[in-house]
Chains A and B, each alone.
Chain A
Amino acid sequence: MDKEFFEHRLNINRRHFLGKMAMGVGGAALGSLLIPNLFKGSGASEDQLPLGIKHFATKAKRIIMLTQNGAPSQLESFDYKPKLNEMFGQDLPDSIRQGQRLTGMTANQKSFPLVGSKFDFKQYGKSGTWVSDLFPNIAKITDDICVIKSMHTDAINHDPALTFLQTGAQQGNRPSMGSWFSYGLGSENKNLPAFCVLLSKGSGNGQGVYSKLWSNGFLDSTHQGVQLSASEDPILYLNNPEGMDKAQRRKMLDHLAELNNLGHAEFGDPEIHSKIRQYEMAFRMQTAVPEITDLSKEPDHITKMYGADSMIPGTYASNCLLARKLSEAGVRFVQLYHQGWDQHGNLPNEMPKQALDVDKASAALITDLKQRGLLDETLVIWGGEFGRTNYCQGKLTKDNYGRDHHPRSFSIFMAGGGVKGGISYGETDEFGYNIVKNPVHIHDLQATIMHLMGLDHEKLTYKYLGRRFRLTDVHGHVVKDILA
């Protein structure tokens, strides 16, 4: 065994030596030819930037992504289509549907009766943004948000669509967006994980959320999302066991690190070092995390803003409050999932409950970031994985209907982080079916988010299995029109 390791190390050394020779002499000469300012000093060129530095200076430093899992209906939230109310019960014209694919749930439906929103829409703010009555608190902050009504995606079912939104691929083996930012920009606060995940569940028809959505994929495991628990202690097993104090713990870790270093000297496995780093971070988290989860510094009206629910661990409101605290403390990417938006049926009864869960807290999060001067540097994204159909799934009655999956158009909104506030971007046709202006594909959204964070989506790559991977694969255009 020892011999094998020894040989292995010799091999590595020989290869390194040869590699360095080749790079050393030829590389310098070639490098100076290809990159004229190589020997000029000051400021490295963009391609060979060390990780952890932005490609260009931008305001946004952190992201809070409020994923509404299950796909909230755009027709009952931000995409106002009175035409659908006028045409209640009439069949979706073929000229609009154009034979596009439907899910197995409605593909065999005999007719596709159009149905408009049961909830009224009004215009709000200086921008006159349309918002439905289900979201009265988000309606109050329309001048801070940018609604994109022309989102579209490739997938038609929840899991692939959600995976696509989070990882840029439908298969689920790629790093999540948060992992990419952890990899590309590093951690802002070394005492906390760079990528945290918070889950909550509404009362509506729910869809699964799996840990592959915050997987590091082929990136180093330090970039994996850390799921916080919905219990009183968001991070479990962080406290010292009874009878052990901080100094003892420190001593123990120091000795452990010595042993580990011996191990590293013998075997040369880089994972040993990352293990030492993880122990050290956990030690620092023992002081950092209680400060974050401590609500005593929160003024009373913070609770009023987020709603009383914010005092119950595991609710969307409490996750929003925790997200703000994590983000404020420098967590690069906080990912929330709120389940229960899959209204195939009984939409008029389920959706108000879902909206009630998230409306107040989502708006409070944005207001709260704003009043702390953090909204400029924090990008908030709110939206689901796709939209819902303009026709009814199942039986249409006067007060009840359902909507099927619709990947061809849906609405999301963003706020802060260098996004223009008070605008609506993109348009769908009067049936709310196809996009007629400024379509934004999921890859475009991802490219834009990366751009806002100061990263060029074409340059942040990771070589794996012989090719360079990107969050946006080989696609994506930055939506410049929404940049402030």
Chain B
Amino acid sequence: MHSFLVVLLIFESQISIPFWLQPLGRMHPLILHFPIAFIVLLVVLNFLKNQMDSNSFEKINRFLVLFTAFTTVLACIMGLFLSMEGDATNLMTLHKWIGVAISFFIYGLVFIKKERVFKTVLYIGFIGVIFAGHYGAGLTHGTNFITEPLKKVKVVEITQETPIFLGFVKPILDAKCVGCHNPEKQKGELDMTSFNTMVSGGKHGALWTAGSTEESALLRRVHLPLEHKEHMPPEGKKQLTKEEIRLLSLWIKNGANENISLVQLPENDTLGLEVSKHLERKTQKKTLAYNFDFARKKDVDALKNPYRTVIQKSPSSPAIEVVIHGKQTYAPELLTDLSKIKKQIVSLNLSFLPIDKGSMEFIGTMTNLEELILNFTDLKTEDLESLKTCSNLRTLSLSGTQVDSNISDIIKVLPKLSRAFIWNTTINEEEIKVLKTTFPEIYFETGFQDSENKLTLTPPRLLSKSTVISKDDYIVLGHKMPEVEIRYTTDGTEPNDSSLLYKNPIKIDLKSKLPIKTIALKKNWLPSPVKTYKFFDKGYLPEKFELVYQGIQSEFIGEAGIILTDNNIGNSNDIRSSAYWATFNKQKPLNATAYFEESSPKIKEIVFSYGINYWQKKEPLESLEVWAGYHKDSLKLIKQVKRTYRKINKEKEGSYRSVVVKIPKAEYRFYKIIAIPFKKEKLYVDQLFFY
């Protein structure tokens, strides 16, 4: 095998290894651990020679030497295969020859019998292994691998004057390219450690053509699809990000100048903008780090309660955010209890709370506070004096407070303030302009400004739910907006600003059958459209109410037996998914029996109320029959109504229908109502009234 090794070494430059041997070569880093271990073992064994009986020592020693020699030469041959794949560097040559030397030294051991010579050769081999190992590690991990952690401390401050190449381009290349393209491991004969070596390029020529993104080899390879053989960095290595590619392209486009820096670029230069973005990100990371300690977890946990949220910003940050909730439940202690962690609080939200001046003085002691939200508190400018000591304040939110333009006295002593929210305060437009010019570096949010054009109000709403009422029920009207005036009429006329003013719930005369017409009015708003509410007399509820069919969509919208007597009139715009309409068809028509007790008032009239769905074009009700009797088994037909199947005009006729059936003698206890729709139609019924 050693002769094979010699042959390999001699003809190294003439032969190229076939691809199927490459895996064997790549196992070099695996196999090499055997000779290392064996040599170390040999050395240890020789140290311990005196402790063993000589016979067994000789046997073990002999065996180990043979084994070491074999694995060493194997590792060497594999190493040679591996070395032929890549390009030779000084380091590799050194590693190679030391490795070969060890191999022959160990081979020599096999034949050496003299103990002193044996030991000398062994120790030289051992030292050789240390060196070969070190250089080998340098090949795989880079030469600075061991010393790297010691060197890292050197950080250069990057500013606008730093050359873009040094400050932004090189760090990218260092992180993603130099691992393979360095003086020791020049893949593609390319060294990317310095500007000059990059300009001279590699095996495939120059790395870039200054000013041309199209002709630059670097960019071409970066943009190739990941699977492509020539794509860089190769698949599996860390890829360049989009931002990095953009920066590299822009820098090359700009001329790939080594010395140009951000300050030398014209304003709004695309490269300049990109670089300042990167710069901003770098500096931001630095400035946001906090220099105070973590609060004690015990303290933080003790301060948490339902009315006070205390959150550490992230596991790696000592900064704490605090929000206090609930106006009614607020007590100043909720704030002042925070004194233990006041150093760590960077964000405090006290919106809507009744904060007083004393509390503000406490806030003044939170020197690391960066964000303070006081929206819709009752604070005035003079209450905020104590904030002057919060020199780290960046965001101050005062929307909906009483502050005025004197706020500038406070703002001017807050050096870091960058955003102020002053929407819906007493500061007027002129004063806002002054503020903006006095503090150009601060962003003032002034929010939505009320435009002059008036909007139409929405009509009053009926707050008493049902429109089916008895004569003693109150009708409650309302409007969500504050300061709205509701006016109404009960005589059927259109309401206007001189109609009756709604103050308290009202009762109406149900016999007149006239609707209530309502309108909403408010200063600076256009009056609402008139909204008409029609009310129905509840009448009498039967003691028992039974149906043969509970409606065909009962599983979806509730049972017809309830719907028909629930005192709710349905809305014809919303029939399909409403809980107020029961649905019947020809196969399962409405077939209801109502029972009244002896003592209950006698029924004089039955009203059957149904609606027409928006897609229905024809009259749905074919026939309605009302049967009545004193006993359940002896009912007689009192009235039958038949309708013709005809097209209807909903615009003119409306979408509600009702059939009134007079009961002549009014002495019955049982009533049976049968309503059958036409074959193709569905019948939607919302209520049955008994008067």
Contacts and interface: CB of A to CB of B under 8 A. Distances in A.
Given A188-B309, A329-B325, 12 more contacts: A44-B315, A57-B319, A188-B323, A191-B306, A191-B325, A291-B352, A300-B481, A301-B449, A330-B325, A371-B424, A373-B445, A480-B241
B554 to A, nearest CB: 18
Contacts of B524: 300
Given A191-B326, A313-B480, A371 B447 contact: yes
B456 A54 contact: no
Contact of B294 (A42, A54, A305, A307): A42
Contacts of B457: 308, 311
A395 interface: no
A295 B376 CA distance: 13
B451 interface: yes
B423 A372 contact: yes
Contacts of A309: 458
B323 A189 contact: yes
5 contacts: A232-B478, A302-B448, A304-B451, A370-B447, A481-B242
Contacts of A291: 326-328, 352
B140 to A, nearest CB: 23
Nearest to B449: A301
Given A191-B306, A371-B424, A372-B423, A295 B482 contact: yes
A368 B449 CA distance: 11
A288 B326 contact: yes
A147 interface: no
A373 B451 contact: no
B478 to A, nearest CB: 8
A410 B351 CA distance: 38
B395 interface: yes
Contact of B480 (A46, A288, A295): A295
A312 B479 CA distance: 8
B668 interface: no
A63 B283 CA distance: 29
Interface of B: 241-242, 294, 305-307, 309, 311-317, 319, 323, 325-329, 351-352, 373, 375-376, 395, 397, 399-400, 419, 421, 423-424, 445-451, 455-458, 461, 463, 478-482, 524
Contacts of B306: 190-191, 280-281, 284
A49 B241 CA distance: 29
A370 B328 contact: no
Given A189-B325, A313-B480, A299 B315 contact: no
A281 B307 CA distance: 11
A371 B423 contact: yes
A358 B192 CA distance: 56
B480 A54 contact: no
A53 B327 contact: no
The 7 closest A-B pairs by CB, nearest first: A371-B447, A373-B397, A57-B314, A371-B423, A190-B306, A301-B450, A311-B480
A373 B329 contact: no
Given A190-B306, A295-B481, A454-B314, A367 B242 contact: no
Interface in A296-327: 296-297, 299-305, 307-309, 311-313, 318
A311 B375 contact: no
A370 B329 contact: no
Given A309-B458, A371-B448, A372-B423, A43 B316 contact: yes
A253 B525 CA distance: 46
A165 B456 CA distance: 37
Nearest to B375: A372
A303 B326 CA distance: 23
B533 to A, nearest CB: 15
Given A309-B458, A311-B479, A312-B458, A367 B314 contact: no
B326 A287 contact: yes
B298 to A, nearest CB: 14
A56 interface: yes
Contacts of A42: 294
Contacts of B400: 297, 299, 372
A297 B376 contact: yes
A328 interface: yes
Given A191-B326, A291-B352, A371-B445, A299 B424 contact: yes
A414 interface: no
Given A54-B314, A288-B325, A288-B326, A368 B309 contact: no
> Which of A57, A330, A370 gathers the greatest number of chain B CB atoms within 10 Å?
A57
A372 B397 contact: yes
Contacts of A373: 373, 375, 395, 397, 399, 419, 421, 445
Given A189-B323, A284-B306, A49 B352 contact: no
Contact of B315 (A46, A188, A313, A371): A46
A371 B323 CA distance: 19
A158 interface: no
A84 interface: no
A288 B327 CA distance: 8
Contacts of B456: 308
A238 B353 CA distance: 23
Nearest to A311: B480
Given A43-B315, A46-B315, A370-B445, A312 B481 contact: no
Given A191-B306, A311-B480, A305 B448 contact: yes
A301 B397 contact: no
A291 B395 CA distance: 26
A443 interface: no
Nearest to A315: B458
Contacts of B481: 295, 300, 303, 311
Contacts of B311: 52-53, 188
Nearest to A291: B327
B463 A232 contact: yes
B568 to A, nearest CB: 14
A49 B479 CA distance: 48
Contacts of A312: 458, 461, 480
A177 interface: no
Contacts of A287: 326, 328-329
A166 B325 CA distance: 29
A49 B315 contact: yes
Contacts of A152: none
B421 A371 contact: yes
B488 to A, nearest CB: 18
A56 B288 CA distance: 13
A364 interface: yes
A174 interface: no
Contacts of B316: 43, 56-57
Nearest to A286: B328
Interface in A257-314: 280-281, 284, 287-288, 291, 295-297, 299-305, 307-309, 311-313
Contacts of A371: 399, 421, 423-424, 445-448
Interface string A34-54: 000000001110100100111
A301 B448 CA distance: 8
A311 B458 contact: yes
Nearest to A305: B448
A54 B317 CA distance: 11
A436 B352 CA distance: 48
A308 B309 contact: no
A189 B309 contact: yes
A451 interface: no
Contacts of A52: 311
Contact of A297 (B241, B352, B478): B352
A221 B463 CA distance: 33
Contacts of B446: 371
A55 B458 CA distance: 46
B525 to A, nearest CB: 8
B241 to A, nearest CB: 8
Contact of B399 (A280, A303, A372): A372
A296 B458 contact: no
Nearest to B321: A61
Contacts of B450: 300-301, 304
A373 B445 CA distance: 8
